[in-house]
Amino acid sequence: MSNTNYKVKNIALAAQGLLKIEWAESRMPVLMKLREEACKTQPLKGMRIAGCLHVTKETAVLVRTLKAAGAELAWSGCNPLSTQDDIAAALASDGVSIFAWHGMNRDEFYWAIERTLDLKPTLTLDDGADLIFTVHSKHKDMAKDIIGGTEETTTGVHRLRAMARDGALFYPVIAINDAETKWDFDNVYGTGQSSIDGIIRATNVLLGGKVFVVAGFGHCGRGCAMRAKGMGARVVVTEVKPTAALKAVLEGYEVMKMDDAAKIGDIFITATGMKDIIVKRHFDSMKDGAIVSNTGHYDCEINLEELKGVSRKMREVRPNNEEYTMPNGNRIYVLAQGRLVNLAAAEGHPSEVMDMSFANQFLGMTRLAREGRSLKPAVYDIDPAQDQEIAMIKLRSIGMSLDKLTPEQVKYADDYSSGT
């Protein structure tokens, strides 16, 4: 059956996209195992899923798995610059209703979300909560038919918890981000590698010897700092939270205020989830040639409006790399328009790490299909046993085996009568 319900940049890119999806499938053993089982058991039969998540080859593997499990799908990207057009074309040619292309404007972005809601979803799947917010603000009538949703990212979960606290959440949501097999791997190793990858693709600068400023030492910031250090950069961390700053110090990084870091940094990356991390006074004090990027979900961490207001001239010098000339003649290079540098300037996290994040997404969807109707509107964590199961499948797939506690050891752990 041919699919006509889509809007992508160029459907002729489908064959190229399919090749990339195959490549990702060969590196996502956990999700592929879940797909194999779901083909037989059809846990999502009758479900209509609206998804709003970066259109990448890894997401395509998730989409195909949801479809193989019996769901009907409509999809949009969750960032105007992260859609990979060949993947969108491949999904459209696979029969998925997809509305996504690289370089959408704000109106097109929300138009695409609206098109996915034409499906009248029973489940929503988000990365950054734009789809859920659209349902809650513009389509309250739809919420009664939605069994539940999932949320992929730290910022989205944070906001949904605030909505739940205020009694403003209409249906249950599973916090995929808070699964150990998500945040402790995707946020750290995924963000670390892919953000450095984005910076390098947009600039090709040498990291060795550079002062690399990481704003925010959460999991994403920690990953960026670790990988930049591994490539020989001198890493400086800025923080607001004392325990996070202390962790950075004990990892061997310098910690200082952004006001001071701005003067010495060669490369900046924001990973805070907060707005206005780099503002006019920081741009004013930066060195000639400073490179500024963001890996947080929203594009508000670098105040680009202030930079545009103060700079004399702007030109694109390479793809995803815009040069702003300051009144004093210094040039500042902003990558990917201050949007997620790992997805806009590179391909996002590698398949191997998305494998676990998306296994959690898939299991979140099947749990909601099974028991969502009995859950109250609230934000739910994933079952910790699921984390262990996903980690175990992953370990087996890379040929690692584990020790097992003996019954005596299990007993010993709980034995409060045995002392020193």
Site residues (vs ligand ADE, CB under 6 A): 54, 56, 58-59, 190, 194, 343, 348-349, 354
Q: Which residue, 97 or 154, is less far from ligand ADE as judged by CB?
A: 154
Q: Which residue, 186 or 322, is less far from ligand ADE as judged by CB?
A: 186
Closest approach of ligand ADE to the CB of residue 268, in Å: 20
Q: Which residue, 124 or 194, is less far from ligand ADE as judged by CB?
A: 194
Q: Which residue, 199 or 343, is less far from ligand ADE as judged by CB?
A: 343
Closest approach of ligand ADE to the CB of residue 23, in Å: 12
Closest approach of ligand ADE to the CB of residue 182, in Å: 11
Tokens linked to 40: 């037989």
Q: Which residue, 100 or 343, is less far from ligand ADE as judged by CB?
A: 343
At CA 234, angle to CA 230 and CA 240, rounded to 5? 105
In angstroms, rounded to a whole number, what is the distance separating the alpha carbons of residues 228 and 209? 10
- 104: amino acid identity, one letter: M
Closest approach of ligand ADE to the CB of residue 354, in Å: 5
Choose among 213, 138, 192: nearest CA to 170. 138
Q: Which residue, 58 or 85, is less far from ligand ADE as judged by CB?
A: 58
Q: How many CB atoms lie within 10 A of CB 33?
A: 17
Closest approach of ligand ADE to the CB of residue 124, in Å: 16
The residue whose Cβ lies closest to ligand ADE is: 348
Could you tell me which residues come within 8 angstroms of residue 256 by beta carbon, excluding any fewer than 6 positions away?
236, 238
E strands within 295-381?
313-318, 321-325, 331-335, 379-380
Closest approach of ligand ADE to the CB of residue 178, in Å: 16
Tokens linked to 145: 């038919």
Helix (H, G, I), strand (E, B) or coil at 125: strand
Exposed/middle/buried for residue 15 (C-beta within 10 Å: 0-12, 13-18, 19+): exposed
Q: Which residue, 56 or 311, is less far from ligand ADE as judged by CB?
A: 56
Helix (H, G, I), strand (E, B) or coil at 398: coil
Q: Which residue, 295 or 386, is less far from ligand ADE as judged by CB?
A: 295
- Cα dihedral sign, 303-308-312-314: positive
Q: Which residue, 191 or 303, is less far from ligand ADE as judged by CB?
A: 191
Closest approach of ligand ADE to the CB of residue 155, in Å: 12
Cα dihedral: 405, 406, 410, 411 (round 10): -160
Could you tell me which residues come within 8 angstroms of residue 224 by beta carbon, excluding any fewer than 6 positions away?
191, 192, 195, 196, 214, 269, 271, 295
Please state whether 364 falls in left (phi above 0), alpha (psi between -120 and 50) or beta.
alpha
At CA 371, angle to CA 370 and CA 376, rounded to 5? 150
Tokens linked to 169: 């959440």
Q: Which residue, 186 or 239, is less far from ligand ADE as judged by CB?
A: 186
Q: Which residue, 58 or 299, is less far from ligand ADE as judged by CB?
A: 58
Closest approach of ligand ADE to the CB of residue 349, in Å: 3
Contact 339, 79 (CB under 8 A): yes
Q: How many CB atoms lie within 10 A of CB 1?
A: 4
At CA 401, angle to CA 395 and CA 406, rounded to 5? 125
Closest approach of ligand ADE to the CB of residue 53, in Å: 6
Closest approach of ligand ADE to the CB of residue 86, in Å: 14
At CA 204, angle to CA 56 and CA 329, rounded to 5? 115
Q: How far is CA 124 from CA 120, 171, 313, 400, in A?
A: 10, 10, 43, 35
